[in-house]
Structure 1
Amino acid sequence: MKLQRSGFLAAGFALTATLALTACGSDNESSPNDAGASEAAGNCVAGSLTAQGSSAQKNAMDEWIKTYQAQCADAKVDYQGTASGAGIQAFIAGTADFAGSDSALKEEEQPQADAKCPGGAALNLPMVVGPISVVYNLEGVDGLQLDAPTLAKIFDSKITKWNDPAIAAQNTGAKLPDSAITAVHRSDESGTTDNFTKYLSKTAEADWTYGNAKAWKAKGGTGAAKSDGIATAVKGTPGAISYVELSYAENSDLSKAKIKNGAGEYTELTGESAGKGIEGAKIEGTGNDLKLSIDYAATTAGAYPIVLVTYEIVCSKGSAKAAPLKAFFSYTSSTGGQKALGDLGYAPLPESIRSKVETAVASIS
């Protein structure tokens, strides 16, 4: 089996070209980065912001901050990828102006976060679509195909060899070795883990009995901290398999498995297939709180089923940094801000969601 890298690159170039043409609307050509810079320049407010949280969105934040600060000399944003759980705790403790999280605030966290917003509430604002890649290190095996039950058994140490019949049945013609699988999971509390295990719990109920959580609960395997730690561990461990955001998989040049979706297709992860995977998401929050419920069954043709939406946790009212927060997020939620992520392994928010995020940001005071 050969991974069709040329197809992936072509799809990526096509997506980038489409976004660029959309941004133009005329004969004058402009790039997504040009559009992002223009949006940033129109939203400048002096001030400094300190934030931390999701490492899944760290590459996106770095790109946004670079563009925003280049256009807004008196604006400073410091974002540290300390993991989702740490970011939420920092927000609750009052040491972060906003938090990045791969999951919306949980029921027990919401009132604690609300308490930091005098006269308002803590909003869950979806900002970054970061598809979760199933990455592996297996010499001579390209385009590995896996379904949810098989993934569940691998990460629960029930399938321990690469030539297991369950894997072989989905990869006819592949030369699978009789060697051990090293399943690598996040050792720190992570929204990526929460979303990955949520996918398993929704699509492989009979084989995954741990539900979903930021902390890893299944038996066996080996742990690595943060997204870059996962990428490093897989790259340096023959026979390893793990889960990490697409941007980290791409940056580390890791092999990515095709995952079977609810339409019965083994789908390659691209920006387009990830976008299709998020189109069916429903808003569970009320008002300007935009907590999403993702349909992991992903029955849409061509949809990649393991998608992650990272949120910004921010006060709707009452923050002493309301003006710079509103300005920065006005840029990140803009069409230009979203398009600026196209080359980094992220997918833009679907317009139906992006427009609601933009409206919510406009209400921050």
Structure 2
Amino acid sequence: MKTPTIRRAVLPGVAALALALTGCAASNEGGSDETGGVEAGTLSGQYTVGGASSQEAAQLAWTTGFADVQPDVTMTYEPIGSGGGRENFIAGGYMLAGSDSYLKDDEGELTDATERCGGEEPIEIPNYVSPIAVIFNVDGVDELKLSPETLGAIFAGDIKQWDDEAIAETNPDADLPSAPINPVHRSDESGTTGNFTNYLATRAADTWTAGELEVWPKEFGGEGAQGTSGVVSAVTDGKNAIGYADASQAGDLGKALIGVGDDFVGPTAEAAAKILEVSPKAESAGDNQLIFDLDYNTEESGTYPIVLTSYLLACMTYEDQAEADVTKAYISYILSDDGQEFAASEAGSAPLADSLQEQAMAIVEQISAG
């Protein structure tokens, strides 16, 4: 059994959701023909991978759908967070991992991952694009419009009341309560936090002064919660609460409209997908890496700016043939039309653009054992 050397607990409810998805997969016309050249039905074994909790719902769909393509393979995804996923991948515990940010060398992660992959730079490809929703549960408020500057001030702890004039200015028709704001953030190291704070640092530098970071700054206060599901639960159960989470897991919570140019845009998959069309590839990207620096300053109509582009990390070469074949086949399924459509229907993600899909597949097809 392939299991990671560094293990953490799987979040509650995963098993139940997996059972629910089984019926969906059965109606998915047998999964995808895209197997990266690995013949369907020829692989076997049990494999555990993991990482970004934002991918949890999509990964449940993918692991279930992949079972139609390779019925003798059991894939399990542990939603332990981006930091944990990268840590396990670098340590060799995961043969592939999910991360809500691409590898950088600020703390030597890219160098360590390259060493783990036998001296070759790791594969980094986008597999999941979804809006980060600003979720809220505020008495008497069904719609909430926030400018980037106001959003930054709320999470920095400088705007403390819901009827503050900065919130009232963009919500003249809302019955804002005279009540304290309860801001909820991730307590664990999180790529979602990294993407969210990167947006704030870019668009609201006057009110959000902490910059981009994956661990929440204690001096800004607020309530911490573990993982995406923890933030959603805290906002759901809290009073006059606001938080940030992958939109696919926001459920029936209110989702704020964010100021973009002269408009306020909601976190739909379609609006989120548009930002990659206007964003440049990262300057540090190598031949094996499709990584992007999102253009948070865009004023493109209908574009939602707070977007999570989640990546898969893998090696180009594996010592074990079975790991190479399963990694290649599984990622190929995720990137296929069937895989992307299944995740869109089950997790609310935005399917990758055709050109991006093709570029990613060209990289994955090179995975081999050596």
TM-score by length of 2: 0.86
The total of aligned residue pairs comes to 332
Per the TM alignment, residue 328 of structure 1 is displaced from its structure 2 partner at its CA by 0.6
Corresponding residue number in structure 2 for 1:194: 194
2:257 counterpart of 1:258: yes
Question: Would you say the 8 A contact 1:148–1:260 is kept in 2?
Answer: yes
Q: Which amino acid aligns with 1:292?
A: F
Per the TM alignment, residue 278 of structure 1 is displaced from its structure 2 partner at its CA by 2.6
CA distance in structure 2 between the aligned counterparts of 1:319 and 1:269, rounded to whole angstroms:
42
Corresponding residue number in structure 2 for 1:231: 232
Judged with a 3 Å threshold, the aligned counterparts in structure 2 of structure 1 residues 319 and 340 are, in CA distance, closer, same or farther, namely farther
Question: Would you say the 8 A contact 1:47–1:324 is kept in 2?
Answer: no
Report 1:194-343 matches (<5 A). Answer: 194-217=194-217, 219-250=220-251, 253-261=252-260, 263-284=261-282, 285-320=285-320, 321-343=323-345
CA RMSD for the aligned pairs?
Answer: 1.8
2:36 counterpart of 1:38: no
SS at match of 2:124: strand
CA distance in structure 1 between the aligned counterparts of 2:226 and 2:95, rounded to whole angstroms:
24
Question: Would you say the 8 A contact 2:32–2:336 is kept in 1?
Answer: no
CA distance in structure 1 between the aligned counterparts of 2:142 and 2:293, rounded to whole angstroms:
32
Question: Would you say the 8 A contact 1:283–1:291 is kept in 2?
Answer: yes
Judged with a 3 Å threshold, the aligned counterparts in structure 2 of structure 1 residues 43 and 319 are, in CA distance, closer, same or farther, namely farther
* Structure 2 residue corresponding to 1:356, chosen from 355, 359, 365: 359
CA distance in structure 2 between the aligned counterparts of 1:268 and 1:83, rounded to whole angstroms:
25
Corresponding residue number in structure 2 for 1:91: 89
Corresponding residue number in structure 1 for 2:22: none
Judged with a 3 Å threshold, the aligned counterparts in structure 2 of structure 1 residues 191 and 154 are, in CA distance, closer, same or farther, namely same
Q: Which runs of 5+ in 2 are unaligned?
A: 1-24
Per the TM alignment, residue 40 of structure 1 is displaced from its structure 2 partner at its CA by 6.2
Offset from partner CA, 1:148-197 (integer Å, 9 cap, x none): 11011000110000000000000011110100000000000000000000
Per the TM alignment, residue 351 of structure 1 is displaced from its structure 2 partner at its CA by 2.0
Per the TM alignment, residue 70 of structure 1 is displaced from its structure 2 partner at its CA by 3.0
Corresponding residue number in structure 2 for 1:25: none
Judged with a 3 Å threshold, the aligned counterparts in structure 2 of structure 1 residues 151 and 363 are, in CA distance, closer, same or farther, namely same
CA distance in structure 1 between the aligned counterparts of 2:337 and 2:26, rounded to whole angstroms:
9
CA distance in structure 1 between the aligned counterparts of 2:30 and 2:181, rounded to whole angstroms:
43
Q: Which amino acid aligns with 1:334?
A: S
Q: Which amino acid aligns with 1:62?
A: L
CA distance in structure 2 between the aligned counterparts of 1:123 and 1:162, rounded to whole angstroms:
44
Question: Would you say the 8 A contact 1:102–1:310 is kept in 2?
Answer: yes
Corresponding residue number in structure 2 for 1:24: none
Offset from partner CA, 1:197-224 (integer Å, 9 cap, x none): 0000111111111111110115111100
CA distance in structure 1 between the aligned counterparts of 2:234 and 2:195, rounded to whole angstroms:
20
Report 1:161-180 matches (<5 A). Answer: 161-180=161-180
Per the TM alignment, residue 34 of structure 1 is displaced from its structure 2 partner at its CA by 2.9
Judged with a 3 Å threshold, the aligned counterparts in structure 2 of structure 1 residues 359 and 40 are, in CA distance, closer, same or farther, namely closer
